[in-house]
């Protein structure tokens, strides 16, 4: 029994110590707190820039909890938002804000970390709605930043978020890998189309040059044939004139030359072979010469 009598007071003392530790909390200067009873926010401590409630405070042990929030300027950065344009680009919006009403902030947004994420989502929605896939030139960024600042301020006032929006600015952000890959595909497709167009133009030019060369060659051949016919006609005329003159001066030569022409036509290798008697008058010239007495047989 004696050990039990000693143990009970020790247990009670330990419980009292834990209860005493859980019955107090400290709010540092530059911080503010929301007192939660059974998970529900019921009061704000050291709220506002002029408050002097920093220090030690009491709460119900095991029933009350405390959510500590910053009293100074906070900042958040949104996820990158893609911009339209020939080259991949993205921007991020940076917002600075201050928790003016910690009780309203906690009721609307939750603790400091969750509240920052929800504010960032609101800011991203406004940014995407304003940009809507458009480009964002540098000279237009201040105008858009003021418009988004007004949007977020209006939302904060309407929804009683308990924050003061101090500033909204833009910062360049690297584009996503998907955007870079999509742009790379577009560039490759454009390059392939350009190569195809250049190749088609080259083939068309080649066909045009080939057709023109064929026409020029046909014209040159036609002109050559015409000139050949003219020259051949002139030659034949001169030949006929010379032969006519020679025939008139020497009838024997005329007969001799006609007989040679007959041989040329009759004994041409391409013609049919002739089988004739040796005393045929047609061959007398071969046996007796130009002055032979042989007479052609009839």
What does the domain layout of the chain look like in residue ranges?
Answer: 2-70, 73-175, 197-249, 251-298
Return d(Cα 263, Cα 293) in angstroms, integer.
18
Q: Where are the beta strands (DSSP E) in the chain?
A: 24-27, 31-37, 40-45, 55-58, 64-70, 73-77, 81-83, 89-99, 163-173
- The confidence score (pLDDT) of residue 172 equals 74
- The confidence score (pLDDT) of residue 182 equals 64
Calculate the CA 295 to chain-centre distance: 99
Place of tokens 């964002």: 136
- The confidence score (pLDDT) of residue 132 equals 62
| Beta carbons of 54 and 29 less than 8 angstroms apart | yes
Return d(Cα 191, Cα 85) in angstroms, integer.
18
Helices then strands, counting H and E runs in the chain, come out as 7, 9
- The confidence score (pLDDT) of residue 180 equals 59
Return d(Cα 290, Cα 140) in angstroms, integer.
115
What are the 10-residue block averages of pLDDT along the chain, 298 residues in total? 66 70 85 91 84 84 89 88 65 88 92 91 83 68 83 87 89 66 72 88 89 90 89 86 76 73 67 62 57 46
Query: Which of 60, 28, 61 lies closest to 45 in space, CA to CA?
Result: 28
pTM: 0.53
Return d(Cα 284, Cα 294) in angstroms, integer.
6
DSSP 282: G
- The confidence score (pLDDT) of residue 271 equals 59
Return d(Cα 84, Cα 183) in angstroms, integer.
11
| Beta carbons of 133 and 84 less than 8 angstroms apart | yes
- The confidence score (pLDDT) of residue 280 equals 61
Return d(Cα 61, Cα 220) in angstroms, integer.
114
* CATH number given to 73-175: 3.30.479.30
- The confidence score (pLDDT) of residue 263 equals 67
């Amino acid at each position: 029994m004696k050990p039990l009598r000693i143990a009970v007071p020790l247990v009670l003392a330990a419980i009292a110590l834990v209860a005493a530790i859980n019955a107090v909390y400290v709010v540092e200067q530059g911080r503010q707190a929301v007192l939660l009873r059974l998970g529900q926010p019921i009061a704000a401590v050291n709220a506002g820039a002029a408050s002097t409630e920093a220090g030690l405070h009491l709460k119900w042990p095991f029933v009350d909890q405390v959510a500590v929030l910053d009293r100074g300027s906070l900042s958040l950065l949104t996820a990158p938002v893609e911009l339209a344009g020939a080259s991949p680009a993205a921007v991020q919006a940076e917002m600075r804000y201050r928790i003016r009403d910690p009780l309203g902030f906690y009721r609307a947004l939750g603790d400091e970390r969750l509240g920052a994420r929800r504010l960032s989502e609101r800011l991203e929605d406004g940014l995407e709605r304003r940009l809507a896939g458009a480009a964002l030139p540098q000279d237009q960024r201040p105008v858009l930043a003021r418009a988004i600042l007004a949007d977020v301020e209006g939302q904060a006032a309407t929804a009683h978020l308990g924050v003061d929006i101090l500033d909204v600015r833009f910062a360049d952000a690297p584009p996503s890998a998907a955007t870079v890959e999509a742009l790379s595909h577009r560039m490759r497709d454009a390059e392939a189309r350009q190569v195809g167009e250049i190749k088609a133009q080259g083939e068309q030019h080649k066909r045009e040059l080939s057709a023109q060369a064929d026409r020029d060659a046909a014209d040159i051949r036609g002109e050559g044939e015409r000139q050949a016919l003219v020259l051949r006609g002139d030659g034949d005329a001169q030949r006929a004139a010379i032969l006519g003159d020679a025939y008139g001066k020497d009838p024997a030569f005329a007969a001799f030359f006609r007989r040679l022409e007959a041989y040329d036509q009759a004994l041409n290798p391409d013609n049919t072979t002739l089988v004739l008697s040796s005393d045929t008058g047609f061959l007398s010239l071969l046996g007796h010469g130009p002055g032979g007495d042989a007479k052609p047989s009839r």
